[in-house]
């Protein structure tokens, strides 16, 4: 049974403190008999000896890469940057999304890409328990049900800037399916207070029938009459949603900027990985994945690459422009040293990214107003205004630890950065990190 942990900053996950920044305190005693914010870890044994897979092991058996880590317990892992705080544990299922409201409520989504799970959207009810949200009935489609009215396979949950709606991104992909069920792919808004369904934006089958795989969504509620949604598509495109008309527009499909690198090989805990089907080896081909909005731009990256791009939001959303015209406005930021997973941005114009090859969260400034004497670069004025040009953006580490295994989803709330991650203890984690 896997367990998923939720970390937070400014408070150690060991036995030295009991304050939890408004999160659920764990009443169980730690090794010293003091209740803490996190799971009560025992005193760490000596490190395990490293044991790495042979060059042929992956060809014949699925490799659990986390078992090749040397340390055994969370306190064995050092943290470069502010400390991590454990705020929640999820047992059994893998969360790929986290959202946090202004009161500190934690929402998760548990995808069904590789199998079934009872509930695909949940809310934390205690330190290590969750309840289906908004209710149990909506979680699974029954035979003959219109799949636009229930959850098929939720990949992301997002709270918009109004802090009144939770948005659910449903890929519509049943377990093992490569094409979404007709009318199953959707972006669905719910009242954050009472869970009442609001508007449901169902993707047309003309878009999904070819294998579109929507992954994440961000909203600019000031762009357009009712706001605009921006969606990443792992098949290799960006999708724009007009929240007033409900019209979806697919952009940059199968362009280099939205698709994977040819013959891409990534690294996880120092082990190169490929895509395997039995004894047949191939390469990951996941396209546009992480997205964030800041400084008037949309920042995005194909997952199976180490490339990062930006494009103006108003250009991407302008339905009068051709794809060629939009592509001409996409600016390369460059190579960033890792493939990336989840993205998010704060209200200061900083974008955070999961950078798994360094077991880290990285960030970059997007606004000239965020520069200081210590971060001035390429002659840019530290008191300037507007967006930092793409060619001058510099990615830097924010926090690094072997506890950060795969930061798949990130969210900022109340001056904390929350993220989901695969735990090095064969666990799936959702973590919080103070900025």
In a domain, 344, yes or no: yes
Q: In this predicted structure, what is the pLDDT of residue 6?
A: 52
In a domain, 382, yes or no: yes
In a domain, 330, yes or no: yes
Q: Is 33 left (phi over 0), alpha (psi -120 to 50) or beta?
A: left
Residue 415 has pLDDT above 70, yes or no: yes
Give how many domains the chain has, as a whole number: 1
Least confident of 189-193, 332-336, 392-396: 392-396
Least confident of 12-16, 81-85, 312-316, 340-344: 12-16
- Residue 23 pLDDT grade (very low, low, confident, very high; cuts 50, 70, 90): very low
Give CA separation, 427 vs 187, 189, 423, in Å: 29, 30, 4
Of residues 431, 435, 324, 427, the one with CA closest to residue 94: 427
CA distance 270 to 428: 19
Look up residue 12 and give its two tokens.
Answer: 């150690």
Residues 6+ apart with CB under 8 A from 269: 65, 66, 68, 69, 359, 402, 405, 424
Residue 402 belongs to domain with CATH number: 2.120.10.30
Determine the Cα angle at 269 with ends 358 and 176, to 5°.
105
| Edge-to-edge strand ranges of the sheet holding 88-91 | 88-91, 3-6, 427-434, 416-423, 409-413
Look up residue 37 and give its two tokens.
Answer: 């914010």
In a domain, 296, yes or no: yes
In 22-119, beta strands by DSSP E: 26-29, 35-36, 79-80, 88-91, 97-100, 106-109
| Better pLDDT: 148 or 5 | 148
In a domain, 186, yes or no: yes
The residue range of the domain holding 370 is 3-46+60-434
In a domain, 54, yes or no: no
Q: In this predicted structure, what is the pLDDT of residue 93?
A: 78
SS3 380: coil
Place of tokens 């986290």: 98
SS3 298: strand
Q: In this predicted structure, what is the pLDDT of residue 370?
A: 77
In a domain, 53, yes or no: no
| Better pLDDT: 275 or 249 | 249
- Residue 207 DSSP class: H
Least confident of 114-128, 283-297, 326-340, 341-355: 114-128
User: For residue range 57-79, what is the model confidence (pLDDT) as tens digits?
Assistant: 333 333 443 444 445 555 566 77
């Amino acid at each position: 049974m896997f367990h998923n942990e939720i970390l937070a900053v400014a408070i150690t996950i060991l036995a030295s403190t009991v304050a939890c920044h408004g999160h659920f305190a764990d009443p169980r005693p730690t090794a010293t008999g003091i209740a803490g914010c996190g799971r009560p870890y025992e005193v760490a044994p000596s490190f395990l000896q490293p044991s790495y897979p042979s060059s042929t092991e992956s060809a014949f058996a699925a490799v659990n890469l986390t078992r090749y880590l040397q340390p055994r317990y969370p306190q064995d892992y050092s943290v470069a940057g502010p400390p991590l705080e454990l705020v929640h544990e999820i047992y059994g299922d893998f969360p790929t999304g986290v959202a946090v409201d202004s009161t500190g409520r934690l929402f998760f989504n548990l995808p069904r890409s590789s199998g079934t799970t009872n509930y695909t959207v949940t809310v934390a009810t205690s330190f290590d328990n969750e309840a289906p949200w908004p209710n149990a009935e909506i979680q699974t489609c029954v035979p003959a049900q219109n799949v636009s009215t229930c959850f098929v396979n939720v990949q992301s949950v997002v709270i918009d800037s109004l802090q009144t709606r939770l948005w659910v991104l449903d890929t519509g992909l049943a377990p093992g399916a490569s094409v979404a069920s007709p009318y199953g792919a959707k972006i669905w808004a719910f009242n954050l207070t009472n869970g009442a369904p609001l508007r449901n934006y169902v993707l047309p089958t003309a878009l999904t029938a070819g294998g579109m795989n929507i992954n994440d969504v961000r909203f600019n509620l000031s762009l357009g009459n009712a706001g605009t949604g921006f969606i990443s598509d792992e098949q290799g495109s960006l999708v724009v949603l007009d929240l007033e008309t409900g019209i979806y527009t697919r952009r940059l499909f199968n362009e280099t900027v939205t698709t994977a690198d040819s013959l891409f090989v990534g690294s996880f805990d120092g082990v190169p990985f490929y895509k395997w089907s039995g004894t047949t080896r191939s390469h990951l081909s996941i396209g546009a994945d992480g997205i964030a909005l800041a400084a008037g731009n949309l920042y995005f990256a194909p997952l199976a690459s180490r490339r990062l791009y930006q494009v103006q939001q108003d250009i991407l959303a302008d339905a009068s422009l051709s794809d060629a015209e939009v592509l001409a406005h996409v600016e390369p930021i460059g190579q960033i040293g890792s493939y990336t997973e989840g993205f998010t941005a704060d209200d200061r114009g900083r974008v955070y990214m999961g950078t798994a090859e360094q077991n880290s969260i990285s960030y970059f400034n997007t606004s000239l107003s965020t520069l200081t004497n210590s971060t001035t670069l390429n002659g840019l004025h530290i008191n300037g205004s507007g967006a930092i040009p793409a060619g001058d953006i510099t990615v830097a580490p924010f926090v690094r630890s072997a506890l950060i295994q795969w930061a798949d989803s990130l969210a900022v709330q109340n001056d904390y950065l929350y993220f989901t991650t695969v735990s090095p203890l064969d666990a799936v984690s959702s973590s919080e990190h103070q900025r």
